[in-house]
Amino acid sequence: MSANKHSTHIDWVDPDDAPELTDEFFEIADEFKGPQLVKRGRPKAEKVLTRITIRLAPEVVDKFKASGPGWQTRMNAALADWLKNHSPEELS
């Protein structure tokens, strides 16, 4: 069945009648630099950490977790501190 399609003609409004752009509008607007969309959020770190899977004794993990948020960062710092005075070959 073919029905008449409505006209897609748009009646343009006088630009002087356009609503004011508020701070809220700009807070949710996408930002572009030229044709490139600027991503929101935290910038990428200079040193990207490597994701690994490791098995540790539960008591070691529990001690670090008990120290609160940031325990993985503290665990990384403890390993880095150990490596300042030791060599991984010492464990072999």
Q: pLDDT tens across 20-71, in order?
A: 889 998 888 888 899 998 887 888 888 888 999 999 999 999 999 999 999 9
Q: Answer positive or negative: Cα dihedral of 73, 78, 84, 89.
A: negative
Residue type present at position 87: S
Look up the domain containing 30 and give its range. 19-87
> Which DSSP string corresponds to the chain?
---PPPP----PPPGGGSPPPPHHHHHHS--EETTEEPPPSPPPPSSPPPP------HHHHHHHHHT-TTHHHHHHHHHHHHHHH--GGGG-
As a whole number of angstroms, the distance between CA 64 and CA 67 comes to: 5
Residue 77 in domain = yes
Prediction pTM value: 0.51
Mean pLDDT over 8-26 rounds to 82
Assigned domain for 54 exists: yes
As a whole number of Å, the end-to-end CA separation of the chain is 81
Task: Please indicate, yes or no, if residue 7 is contained in any of the structural domains.
Answer: no
Could you tell me if residue 25 is inside a domain? yes
Q: Locate 39 and state its tokens.
A: 């991503």
73 lies in some domain: yes
Q: Tell me, yes or no, whether 39 lies in a domain.
A: yes
